Amino acid sequence: MGRMNGELQAAPAKPRHQRRKWLKPRSPLGRTIRILLVLGLVYFLGLPQIAGPVKALQVVGRADVPYLGLGALLEVASLACYAFFTRSLIRGPRPPLGTLARIDLSTFAVSHILPAGSIGGTGLGYKLLTSAGLEGQEAGFVIAAQSTGSAVILNLLLWVALILSIPEEGFNPLFRTAAIGGALLFASLALLIVLLIRGEGTAERFLRSVARRVPKVNEDAVAGFVVHLVGRLREVGSDPSLLLPSAGWATANWLFDAASLWVFLYAFGHTLVSPIVLLVAYGVANVLAAIPITPSGLGVIETVLPSLLVGFGTTRAIAVIAVVGWRLVNFWLPIPVGALSYLSLSVGPEATRATKMAHLNQLATRTEGRRRLGFGFDSPGQAEAGLSEYAAPGTHAWWK
């Protein structure tokens, strides 16, 4: 008996740092998911309290469901226009439109999760575009033109809306701030283009010197990108009509997004406001949201936009609930859809053979799939064969 007690007493206790290991996030992904859950609770439970819980429930109860569906469809149309915008920027052979749409959704998902997420989205977008067949220099140009061109179009729309709204609504100091920000953007962009075209050699030498001091950055690749960028800028300068398709799709992307907000306001009971007034509020909120404080302006748009709408005559309850509903499809829904899009690009038919091998090996290692399915891959050929066996028609080909 004493021996048994001794054995029981000798049983080693778990180290203290392991006792509450479950309390600690296991990975950066786990921490991100926890943060998103907290933000989601605050977003969907806390923000409606600003309008008053009773009024918020009344507004939600009066919602016109078919118009909510129409607002969601307009947001889908906005995303489709962005995919066409991306496609119009590519010179030479272009990946399928569906592939470009999934690349855009994947980058949106990253930019909607991380603060200053446009940086992470840019890196992911570059990786996916090159995997889809674009050369590195062309992929870099497309990404730069996407962000710059979209911002220019937004500011142009805001300026036009401001000019048209002044006789009716006057000039708000917040509008002045947004207009000045847009003017600075245009001036900076024009100066940068002039400096690049007239001083291509100087720009190349400067960026080479910077690249030498940055670890893991190839100065030849940087210089090649500058030469490619200047060539594309000169091409556009010699034939401005090349800009028309891209400008048209970028404009449609913003207008469909604003129309979605307009329909959400109507669905929750507000008589339709003037499209010009709505575009002013929408443009100001999105220009201010471009400041990289939170992911894709999370919290900025939800604060600024309802306040502007209330100033234009919308009741606070409708303004808050409509913006929250619109942001559900504008901001939150692209996160899971973008994650699924990334998975389809990683192991679907468009993925490179090396990408298939890497992702399927990772899947087989981290799950019991290696034992149950009986495949581990040591070469791209084996990966492709295993993929064909695992995703035979009618079985697991979920990405088709």
pLDDT tens, position by position, for the chain (400 residues)?
Answer: 444 444 444 445 545 444 444 344 455 555 555 555 555 555 554 555 454 555 656 667 678 889 999 999 999 999 999 999 999 999 888 999 999 999 999 999 988 887 665 677 888 998 999 998 898 888 888 998 898 889 889 988 988 888 888 776 666 666 666 667 767 777 777 777 777 777 667 777 777 777 777 776 677 776 776 777 777 777 776 777 778 899 999 999 999 999 999 999 999 887 767 888 899 899 989 988 877 777 777 888 888 898 888 888 888 888 888 998 999 899 999 999 999 999 999 876 655 555 555 555 555 554 444 444 444 445 445 544 544 444 444 433 333 3
CA neighbours within 13 Å on the CB side: how many for 355?
A: 16
Are 240 and 232 contacting, i.e. CB atoms less than 8 angstroms apart? no
**Whole-model pTM?**
0.71
**In this predicted structure, what is the pLDDT of residue 81?**
97
**In this predicted structure, what is the pLDDT of residue 350?**
55
Go through 338-371 and write b for each residue having 16 or more CB atoms within 10 A of its CB, e for each that does not.
beebbbbbbbbebbeeebbbbbbbeebeeeeebe
Instruction: Provide the H-helix boundaries in the chain.
Output: 2-10, 16-19, 28-41, 47-50, 53-61, 65-88, 97-111, 117-131, 136-169, 173-198, 200-212, 219-238, 243-267, 275-289, 300-311, 316-327, 334-347, 353-366, 369-373, 380-390
Are 63 and 268 contacting, i.e. CB atoms less than 8 angstroms apart? yes
Q: Which two tokens stand for residue 317?
A: 């309850």
**In this predicted structure, what is the pLDDT of residue 128?**
93
Rounded Cα gap, residues 384 and 394, in angstroms:
18
